[in-house]
Homo-oligomer: A and B are copies of this chain.
Amino acid sequence: MSTRFVLGIDIGGTTYSVGSVATDGSRVAVLHEEPTRPERGADDVLARIIALGKRTMDETRTAIPDAEFIGVGAGAPGPLNRASGIVLLTPNLGWVDFPLRDRLAKGLGCTTEIDNDANCAVLGECWRGAAQGAVHALGVTIGTGIGGGIVLGRRLYHGASDCAGEIGHTTIEANGRRCNCGNYGCLEAYASGSAIARRAVEALDAGAESTLPSLVDGALDQITAQTVYEAASAGDELSREVVQDTAKFLGAGFANLVNIFNPDTIVVCGGVTRAGELLFAPLRREVAKRAFKPAVAAVRIVPGTLEAPGVYGAAKAFLDARG
């Protein structure tokens, strides 16, 4: 009997990852990551993803002679239509109405399914990561922006037109900061990686004392969320405040999710997990303060644990769709 694999592809604005995922979720045999370089155009990006996919399949077959690929699952940012396999719009990649599913299927010679990248991340964590065993789980992916995915009854929930899960674009301050999406006061405008860096720089501009400038040789525009987490871990007071404020903003947003969904798990993915308990301890406190007690008692709020949740989840999305 052969060992069955799905090729999982996670396409992001900065990097894409490709891995061979065993259909029982027991392992990723081969995993590769490359920079996306969207400025080279959609055809160029797609050609490189297909080349990396072929290489990953070849290397898997070399390592595991009886390996058989039954399909391809791909996660992509932005709204998409699963039925037609078309990515409608991805500002980070510059794709408009891009027939991702069929182009991948043709290039890789395998049946392909596509889904939203944040959906794939939470599905991956539910399958083999921090949210294993979850029945009703929400995933919040905090990077440059804030993405979301919803797993109800162990299956992805997509909504009426595949647009569900935009957790980052829920208002926590009706008259608050303008968000990139055009709305005001979105969670993303306060607690995304970019927002974390921006709040730190705003405090420095206002004259706050901090070790942050020394970490970027005085070039404040080089400060990232990662810089803030590092400085906070090293004891920098301003950075700790920025992280704690982040916990308060996220806490308001997560309390909404807890009161609406009564989930058993919220799993947080992305760079923000590097802030560790400095973030998660006050975040859990804020949720407990704001949300209904029976719902708080039912939920655990955990950082993701997978190296490539989107690759795992893209493979699982294929399996759930084509099973």
- Residues of chain A having any CB pair with chain B under 8 Å: 79, 88, 135-136, 148, 150, 152, 157-167, 169-175, 181-185, 248-249, 252-253, 255-257, 259-264, 289-292, 294-295, 297-299
Q: Are the C-beta atoms of A170 and B264 separated by less than 8 Å?
A: no
**How far, in angstroms, from A252 to B172 measured CA to CA in the complex?**
9
Q: Are the C-beta atoms of A167 and B136 separated by less than 8 Å?
A: no
**How far, in angstroms, from A224 to B314 measured CA to CA in the complex?**
52
Q: List 7 A-B residue pairs with CB atoms under 8 Å apart, sorted by A's residue number.
A: A164-B260, A164-B262, A166-B259, A169-B292, A170-B260, A173-B174, A185-B252
Collect the chain B residues with CB atoms within 8 Å of residue A135's CB.
160
**How far, in angstroms, from A262 to B159 measured CA to CA in the complex?**
5
Contacts A159-B295, A160-B264 known; 8 new A-B pairs at CB < 8 A: A88-B294, A152-B157, A164-B260, A164-B261, A170-B255, A170-B259, A174-B249, A185-B252
The 8 Å CB contact of A167, one of B167, B169, B260, is B260
Q: Are the C-beta atoms of A160 and B299 separated by less than 8 Å?
A: yes
Tell me whether A262 and B163 are in contact in the complex, defined as CB-CB below 8 angstroms, given that A291-B183, A292-B169 are known contacts: yes
Q: Are the C-beta atoms of A172 and B172 separated by less than 8 Å?
A: yes
Question: Taking the full assembly, how many copies of this chain does it contain?
Answer: 2
6 nearest A-B pairs in the assembled complex, by CB-CB distance: A159-B262, A164-B262, A166-B259, A163-B262, A170-B256, A160-B264
Q: Which residue of B lies closest to A252 (CB)?
A: B174
Collect the chain B residues with CB atoms within 8 Å of residue A79's CB.
292, 294
Collect the chain B residues with CB atoms within 8 Å of residue A256's CB.
170-171, 256
Q: Are the C-beta atoms of A260 and B292 separated by less than 8 Å?
A: no
The 8 Å CB contact of A298, one of B163, B290, B295, is B163
Q: Are the C-beta atoms of A292 and B262 separated by less than 8 Å?
A: no
Q: Are the C-beta atoms of B292 and A161 separated by less than 8 Å?
A: no
Collect the chain B residues with CB atoms within 8 Å of residue A260's CB.
148, 150, 164-167, 170, 257, 260
Cβ distance A281 to chain B, nearest Cβ, rounded Å? 19
Collect the chain B residues with CB atoms within 8 Å of residue A166's CB.
259-260, 292, 295
Cβ distance A167 to chain B, nearest Cβ, rounded Å? 6
Q: Which residue of B lies closest to A296 (CB)?
A: B163
Tell me whether A160 and B262 are in contact in the complex, defined as CB-CB below 8 angstroms, given that A171-B290, A252-B174 are known contacts: yes
Q: Are the C-beta atoms of A259 and B169 separated by less than 8 Å?
A: yes
Q: Are the C-beta atoms of B259 and A160 separated by less than 8 Å?
A: no
Q: Are the C-beta atoms of B261 and A171 separated by less than 8 Å?
A: no
**How far, in angstroms, from A290 to B260 measured CA to CA in the complex?**
19
Collect the chain B residues with CB atoms within 8 Å of residue A181's CB.
292
Collect the chain B residues with CB atoms within 8 Å of residue A167's CB.
259-260
Cβ distance A283 to chain B, nearest Cβ, rounded Å? 14
Q: Are the C-beta atoms of B263 and A160 separated by less than 8 Å?
A: yes
Cβ distance A253 to chain B, nearest Cβ, rounded Å? 8
